[in-house]
Every structure is written in structure tokens, then in C-alpha cells.
Amino acid sequence: LDRAIMAASIVAKVTRDRLMHVLHAQHPQYRFDQHKGYSTPVHLAALQTHGPCPQHRRSFAPVRLALEGREQESAAVRDPEQLQVGQLVAPL
């Protein structure tokens, strides 16, 4: 790989991690410092308990379901490993 691409990847990851720590300071109940925005069981449980914060991506299925208040469907997606890629993001 090109060194510039590798460097950009590292910069992007470090930047994202720093942003997740800022989000954690603003919304500690979601534990962004632990999961960095990925759909871990801790993150999905926080969505169930608190609903999404303004920074949650509305096209992401667990966020969309939390917004719609469909607890039954939301419980079905608690294990992200059981989801297909198309179930995670809403079609445009």
C-alpha cells in the first residue's frame, strides 16, 4: 500500500477515537469511550435504555428502531453478529 494511504488511515482512526472521547464527555451514558460507536452489546443496551443522542446515525437499524420505539424488533438485533450487512444501514 501507498504510505500516504496508510498514514491517512492512522490519522482517521486516531481522530475518530478522539471524537468518541468528546462524545463520551457529552453523553457518558452511552460509553462511547469503550465502544467507539460500534454496535457492541453495551452500546445497544444504552440505545434501549436512553434512546439515541443527536449524534447517532439515524440510518443505523438499532438507532432507527430505538427512535420508532419498537422494543420487540430492537431486541431481535441485540447481537450484531446475527445481522446481515443490509440490515445495519437503511437504504437511501
N-to-C CA span, the chain: 32
Residue 71, pLDDT above cutoff 70: no
**What does the pLDDT read at residue 78?**
52
Task: State the average pLDDT over residues 5-33.
Answer: 95
pLDDT in tens, 35-59: 998 889 999 999 989 989 999 988 8
Domain ranges of the chain: 3-88
Q: CA 43 to CA 2: how far, in whole Å? A: 34
Say which amino acid occupies 78.
R
**What does the pLDDT read at residue 72?**
47
Percentage above 70 pLDDT, the chain: 74
65: nearest Cα among 48, 82, 53 = 48
**What does the pLDDT read at residue 82?**
53
DSSP state of 60: B
Contact 56, 47 (CB under 8 A): yes
Contact 28, 35 (CB under 8 A): no
Give pTM, 2 decimals.
0.64
Sign of CA dihedral 46, 26, 60, 11: negative
